[in-house]
Amino acid sequence: MNGVNILLTLSFLGLATFIASAYDPSPLQDFCVAIDDPNKASVFVNGKFCKDPKYAKAEDFFFSGLNIAGDTNNKVGSNVTHVDVDKMPGLNTLGISLVRVDFAPYGESPPHTHPRATEILVVVEGQLSVGFVTSNQDGNRLFSKVLNKGDVFVFPIGLIHFQFNPGKVPAVAFVGFGSQNPGTITIANAVFGSNPAINPEILAKAFQLDQKIVEQLQKKFWVAN
């Protein structure tokens, strides 16, 4: 019996190890709809097609321009310069990307979420007030901090977060993501600027607002930033 028990234990451990190592790859797009016709499945993949390595060159792994400030003349007062797989092809399959974020005085990155990546931010100029909110299961707790030059803050994957420049001078931050395509869902844009629009009756009840206010919000121009 002891030998049988040992064999069963080893079998379960082996199965557990297999299950732990066998998982779906992380999604690199919002969705990937399965189809039966292979002739229509040759373009959209979870990521990008790869070139033959013998044709790779140094420029595939290079980007220049993060020293240039972005134009913050918009309604939210911020600008994001992306260094993703579309700007640097060599990032494909490496699971990382980078952005520069410029903030005008009192500018912000409105509450948003990245469905496919954790975000880590470092302030290189000015000051930022940042924070993220936990899920419903964790009581929607707010974790916030005022950051100065050289300070670093991390935003866990999928959680709603924000950055705001409380100062009278511009601020600059560099942000790293744990995905070549982290995705961005700006909450106000998604809720009030969806196409087609969500039924205002639904939003009025969800946000406990007068329906006319919801309809006014749906008519606004929302900055995708």
Q: Is 106 part of a structural domain of the chain?
A: yes
Q: Is 4 part of a structural domain of the chain?
A: no
DSSP letters along 39-101, please?
A: GG-SS--SS-----GGG--GGGG----TTSPP---STT-EEEEEESTTT-GGGTTT--EEEEE
CA pair distance 193, 112, nearest whole angstrom:
14
Q: Is 138 part of a structural domain of the chain?
A: yes
CATH, residue 116: 2.60.120.10
CA pair distance 53, 112, nearest whole angstrom:
37
CA pair distance 177, 36, nearest whole angstrom:
34
| Total number of domains constituting the chain | 1
For residue 35, pLDDT over 80 is answered with: no
Reported as a single tens digit per residue, the pLDDT across 175-185 is 999 998 899 99
Q: Is 42 part of a structural domain of the chain?
A: no
Q: What pLDDT, on a 0 to 100 scale, did the predictor assign at position 118?
A: 95
Reported as a single tens digit per residue, the pLDDT across 86-133 is 899 898 888 899 999 999 999 999 999 999 999 999 999 999 999 999
Predicted TM-score (pTM) of the model is: 0.83
Q: Is 96 part of a structural domain of the chain?
A: yes
Q: Is 203 part of a structural domain of the chain?
A: no
Residue 70 lies in domain: 58-183
- In whole numbers, what is the pLDDT of the chain averaged over residues? 87
CA pair distance 171, 125, nearest whole angstrom:
5
Q: Is 209 part of a structural domain of the chain?
A: no
> Are the beta carbons of 80 and 112 closer than 8 angstroms?
no
